[in-house]
């Protein structure tokens, strides 16, 4: 493993949790991922009759409570076991549509107060719930939101502005979003198959992830677990198209190169890639082009969790990094559920069963509409 | 940490400006969203007419700031990023989109309108029009005119993520169930900053202390609006009650 020459120390991850349609805990999600199971099935939350697909990964027993958004129920689950935090902890959330169910009810004439549907209101409520001294803010960067949010959290800590940041990522399956992706003709009519030669599009999913990121030196403080380190982070734009990625992967390559620079390592230090892997023709091709360009003939294993938990949009990077932290602990990488015939561009990189993880870092990437790309380089922690 | 203010632009339903000049692209209108349709860019941007009003307003303000900074023209994509803050995001577009779904059934959903329900959509247009490949993202907070976005942008500059940063705030100004009072219309302000450079003529230094206090031209400022008011006295639009508490 390369010795890092970073300009500043890595940021500690001292808490990581995830809730997905596969399970209410990171352990449950991990176990089912390793078994190759998928949570993508027929949606029952709303009628999908008018749409191009009927499939999604919903948390079946997640229901609205009174007039409150379902996102608060999601928060109840992901914050189970969340450690008490000092009041000066900064809160950064990541979501694209947040409490969108409230907006839907306002449009249907079923609610008159829409303020609870505004994302800043959600963030403030969450901050109060965590007992923090400032309201915090949400990062919205399409499907790269969660990774951009953690990159900014790391930047805040590295610049010395804060010692600790709570990052909460969440997204729900809603008719609002489902109808839009259906209109864009990128929903798969069967559970999505990332990096498969015959992939037909994405499957939407819902879930949440919660992290505590901590300045070096605080990882051993009471209640903190030195789970993993974020060594590098990078964010870059394509400047190419509003809804399609740059075919040459130039934006993603820039984001990864920046993350490597921050970490002070070269591509040789990366032992596995947790890719965005949505199952759309264009995204998966762009990613494989970028990985081939950066890692040349070195066959680093690449996987995506979206065939199992669906595409959780603004929360995707959070859930995926939580899985990566588990992979670093277990020294194994989950398979890409749904993959049957690997895309030839990913030859030697894609696999059907769990694989052992070589020593090194995991690169976790996300890309989104408006040509947004983000990358994190995650290393193991101090747990035995 | 010290940066230079290199350019500024703003757009209101009835007023707009770039640099120190007010009304450089005023689009007076009694109907809040109508003014946005009168925005023109030079050189033209073919997608402009397809953008939703609030995204057009945000793009116009950012382009104004880039022009004042002398950074609007380009041949090769540049290492310039954007941090933009908002409270209501694209709520008007959200409402239009979903009401259309309810009225005409889901099969009629407009993919184009859906793309502009993302608050970050205008950044895609801005990066394409201006050739920007640096980090770009939206932050959503109760007071989008606060200095949060500015401090994030300054950190990105000093960590080497970008050479220049566009930083600003924009909002739909939506009233009704999502705000208080009447719709105030889409509005935006943006500035461009770069690391302080003695060899460059900026429009004044912005200094950030360890305790997150911000000084513009040596005087404390509490919001982006404070900086604009100190920089361009013609900046006289009524920003109170728009979004947050400037």
- Comparing A252 with B179, which gets the higher pLDDT? A252
- Comparing B36 with A131, which gets the higher pLDDT? A131
Q: What is the pLDDT of residue B30?
A: 37
Using the beta-carbon criterion (under 8 Å), do B140 and A137 form an inter-chain contact?
yes
Tell me whether A248 touches chain B (CB under 8 Å). no
Name the fold adopted by B2-88+117-231: Peroxisomal Thiolase; Chain A, domain 1 (3.40.47)
Beta strand pairing call for A55-57 and A41-42: antiparallel
Cα B69 from Cα B54, distance rounded (Å) = 23
Which residue out of A15, A231, A276, A303 is catalytically annotated? A276
The pLDDT of A164-182, averaged and rounded, is 97
Whether residue A155 has pLDDT greater than 50: yes
| Among candidate residues B8, B126, B123, the one with its CA nearest the CA of residue A369 | B123
Superfamily of domain A1-384 in CATH is: Thiolase/Chalcone synthase (3.40.47.10)
B91-104 helix and A175-183 helix, angle to the nearest 10 degrees:
80
Q: What is the pLDDT of residue A105?
A: 93
The pLDDT of A350-376, averaged and rounded, is 96
| Among candidate residues B118, B126, B235, the one with its CA nearest the CA of residue A95 | B118
Using the beta-carbon criterion (under 8 Å), do B125 and A107 form an inter-chain contact?
no
Which residue out of A143, A154, A169, A192 is catalytically annotated? A143
| Distance in Å, alpha carbon of A335 to nearest chain B alpha carbon | 31
Taking residue A344's Cβ as centre, other Cβ atoms within 10 Å add up to 8
Q: What percent of chain B has pLDDT over 90?
A: 50
pLDDT tens-digit readout, A27-81: 999 999 999 999 999 999 999 999 999 999 999 999 888 888 999 999 999 999 9
Cα A88 from Cα A72, distance rounded (Å) = 23
Whether residue A342 has pLDDT greater than 50: yes
- Comparing B21 with A316, which gets the higher pLDDT? A316
Distant-in-sequence, close-in-space partners of B217: CB < 8 Å, separation ≥ 6: B204, B205, B230
Whether residue A359 has pLDDT greater than 90: yes
The 3-class secondary structure across A82-105, one letter per residue, is CCCCCCCCEEEEECCCCCHHHHHH
B contacts of A181 (beta carbons < 8 Å): 114
Residue with tokens 């949570």: A39
Active site residue A15: no
Reported as a pLDDT band with limits 50, 70 and 90, residue B238 is: very low
Please tell me the least confidently modeled range out of A209-223, A255-269, B29-43, B98-112: B29-43
Query: How far are the Cα atoms of A313, A372, B33 from residue B55, in angstroms, in the given order?
Result: 21, 17, 11
- Comparing B100 with B186, which gets the higher pLDDT? B100
Q: What is the pLDDT of residue B209?
A: 83
ipTM score of complex: 0.96
Active site residue A311: yes
Q: What percent of chain B has pLDDT over 70?
A: 78
- CB-CB contact of A353 with A34 (8 Å): no
Cα B27-B30-B33 angle, rounded to 5 deg:
65
Using the beta-carbon criterion (under 8 Å), do B109 and A136 form an inter-chain contact?
no
B contacts of A118 (beta carbons < 8 Å): 87-88, 91, 178
Reported as a pLDDT band with limits 50, 70 and 90, residue A381 is: confident
Phi–psi pair at A267, nearest 5 degrees: -60, -25
| Distance in Å, alpha carbon of B152 to nearest chain A alpha carbon | 8
Cα A163 from Cα A123, distance rounded (Å) = 20
Q: What is the pLDDT of residue A4?
A: 59
Whether residue B233 has pLDDT greater than 80: no
Whether residue B108 has pLDDT greater than 90: no
Q: What is the pLDDT of residue B174?
A: 63
What is this structure's pTM? 0.94
B contacts of A136 (beta carbons < 8 Å): 141
- Comparing A3 with A201, which gets the higher pLDDT? A201
Q: What percent of chain A has pLDDT over 70?
A: 97
CB pairs under 8 A between A and B: 190
Whether residue B181 has pLDDT greater than 70: no
| Distance in Å, alpha carbon of B99 to nearest chain A alpha carbon | 6
Q: Which residue of A has its CA nearest to B131?
A: A239
B contacts of A139 (beta carbons < 8 Å): 137-140
Q: Find the helix or strand (DSSP H, E) in which B58 lies.
A: helix B53-68
- Comparing A70 with B240, which gets the higher pLDDT? A70
- Comparing B182 with A190, which gets the higher pLDDT? A190
Whether residue B245 has pLDDT greater than 70: no
Q: What is the pLDDT of residue A133?
A: 96
B53-68 helix and B121-130 helix, angle to the nearest 10 degrees:
40
Q: What is the pLDDT of residue B24?
A: 35
Helices (H), chain A: 26-34, 71-78, 100-107, 119-129, 145-158, 175-183, 250-263, 281-295, 306-309, 316-330
Q: Domain spans of chain B?
A: 2-88+117-231
The pLDDT of B62-79, averaged and rounded, is 93
Using the beta-carbon criterion (under 8 Å), do A161 and B142 form an inter-chain contact?
no
Rounded to the nearest 10°, the torsion over CA B75, A234, A147, A253 is 60
Q: How far is CA B35 from the centre of its chain?
A: 16
Using the beta-carbon criterion (under 8 Å), do B109 and A183 form an inter-chain contact?
yes
Q: What is the pLDDT of residue A212?
A: 97
DSSP A183-248: HTT-B-SSS--TTBTT---B-EE-EEEEEEEE-TT-TTSTT----EEEEEEEEEE--S-SSS--TT
Reported as a pLDDT band with limits 50, 70 and 90, residue B58 is: very high
Residue with tokens 């309810």: B102
Taking residue A268's Cβ as centre, other Cβ atoms within 10 Å add up to 13
Q: What is the pLDDT of residue B15?
A: 53
Residue A312 buriedness (CB in 10 A; 0-12 / 13-18 / 19+): buried
- CB-CB contact of A236 with B133 (8 Å): yes
Q: What is the pLDDT of residue A384?
A: 53
pLDDT tens-digit readout, A253-297: 999 999 999 999 999 999 999 999 999 999 999 999 999 999 999
pLDDT tens-digit readout, A90-106: 999 999 999 999 999 99
Using the beta-carbon criterion (under 8 Å), do B123 and A148 form an inter-chain contact?
no
Using the beta-carbon criterion (under 8 Å), do A185 and B158 form an inter-chain contact?
no
Q: What is the pLDDT of residue B26?
A: 36
Residue B138, by phi and psi: left (phi above 0), alpha (psi -120 to 50) or beta? beta
Whether residue B18 has pLDDT greater than 70: no
- CB-CB contact of A92 with A136 (8 Å): yes
Reported as a pLDDT band with limits 50, 70 and 90, residue B141 is: very high
Whether residue B175 has pLDDT greater than 80: no
**Average pLDDT for chain B:** 82
Whether residue B32 has pLDDT greater than 50: no
The pLDDT of B34-56, averaged and rounded, is 83
Distant-in-sequence, close-in-space partners of B222: CB < 8 Å, separation ≥ 6: B147, B214
The pLDDT of A222-247, averaged and rounded, is 92
- CB-CB contact of B77 with B54 (8 Å): no
Active site residue A54: no
Cα B53 from Cα A278, distance rounded (Å) = 30
Q: What is the pLDDT of residue A222?
A: 72
Whether residue A216 has pLDDT greater than 50: yes
């Amino acid at each position: 493993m390369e010795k890092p020459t970073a300009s500043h120390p890595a940021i500690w991850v001292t808490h990581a949790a995830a809730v997905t349609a596969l399970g209410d805990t990171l352990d449950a999600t991990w176990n089912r991922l390793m078994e190759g199971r998928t949570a993508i099935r027929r949606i029952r939350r709303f009628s999908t009759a008018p749409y191009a697909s009927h499939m999604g990964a919903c948390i079946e027993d997640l229901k609205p409570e009174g007039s409150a958004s379902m996102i608060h129920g999601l928060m109840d689950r992901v914050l189970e076991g969340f450690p008490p935090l000092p009041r000066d902890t900064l809160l950064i959330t990541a979501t694209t549509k947040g409490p969108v169910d409230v907006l839907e009810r306002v449009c249907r004439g079923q609610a008159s107060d829409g303020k609870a549907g505004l994302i800043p209101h959600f963030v403030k409520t969450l901050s109060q719930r965590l007992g923090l001294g400032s309201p915090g803010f949400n990062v919205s960067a399409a499907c790269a939101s969660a990774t951009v949010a953690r990159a900014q959290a790391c930047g805040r800590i590295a610049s010395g502005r804060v010692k600790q940041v709570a990052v909460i990522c969440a997204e729900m399956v809603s008719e609002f979003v489902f109808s839009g992706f259906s209109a864009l003709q990128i929903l798969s009519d069967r559970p999505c198959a990332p990096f498969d030669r015959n992939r037909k599009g994405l499957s939407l999913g819902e879930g949440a992830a919660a992290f505590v990121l901590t300045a070096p030196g605080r990882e051993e403080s009471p209640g903190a677990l030195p789970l993993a380190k974020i060594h590098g982070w990078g964010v870059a734009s394509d400047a190419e198209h509003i809804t399609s990625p740059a075919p040459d992967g130039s934006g993603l390559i820039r984001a990864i190169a920046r993350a490597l620079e921050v970490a002070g390592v070269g591509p040789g230090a990366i032992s596995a890639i947790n890719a965005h892997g949505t199952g759309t023709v264009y995204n998966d091709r762009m990613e494989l082009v970028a990985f081939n360009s950066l890692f040349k003939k070195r066959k680093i294993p690449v996987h995506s969790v979206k065939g199992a938990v669906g595409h959780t949009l603004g929360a995707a990077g959070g859930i995926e990094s939580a899985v990566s932290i588990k992979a670093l602990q277990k020294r194994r990488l989950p398979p890409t559920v749904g993959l049957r015939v690997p895309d030839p561009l990913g030859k030697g990189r894609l696999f059907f069963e769990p694989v052992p993880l070589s020593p090194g870092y995991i690169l976790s990437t996300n890309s989104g509409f408006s040509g947004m790309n983000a990358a994190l380089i995650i290393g193991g922690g101090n747990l035995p | 940490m010290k940066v230079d203010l290199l350019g500024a632009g703003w757009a209101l339903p009835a007023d707009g400006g770039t640099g120190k000049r007010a009304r450089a692209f005023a689009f007076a209108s009694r109907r809040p969203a109508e003014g946005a349709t009168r925005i023109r860019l030079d050189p033209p941007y073919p997608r402009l007419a397809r953008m939703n009003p609030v995204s057009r307003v945000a793009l116009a303000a950012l382009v104004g700031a880039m022009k004042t900074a002398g950074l609007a023209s380009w041949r090769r994509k540049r290492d310039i990023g954007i941090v933009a803050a908002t409270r209501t995001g694209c709520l008007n577009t959200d409402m239009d989109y979903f009401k259309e779904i309810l009225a005409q059934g889901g099969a009629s959903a407009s993919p184009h309108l859906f793309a502009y329900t993302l608050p970050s959509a205008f950044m895609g247009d801005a990066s394409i029009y201006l050739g920007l490949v640096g980090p770009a993202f939206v932050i959503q907070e109760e007071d989008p005119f606060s200095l949060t976005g500015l401090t994030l942008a300054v950190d990105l500059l000093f960590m080497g993520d970008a050479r220049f940063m566009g930083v600003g705030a924009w909002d739909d100004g939506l009233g009704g169930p999502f705000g208080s009072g009447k719709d105030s219309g889409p509005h935006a302000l943006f500035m461009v900053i770069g690391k302080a450079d003695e060899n460059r003529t900026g429009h004044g230094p912005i200094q950030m202390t360890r305790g997150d206090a911000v000084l513009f031209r040596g005087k404390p400022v509490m919001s982006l609006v404070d900086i604009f008011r100190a920089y361009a006295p013609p900046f006289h639009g009524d920003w109170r009650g728009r979004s947050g508490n400037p």
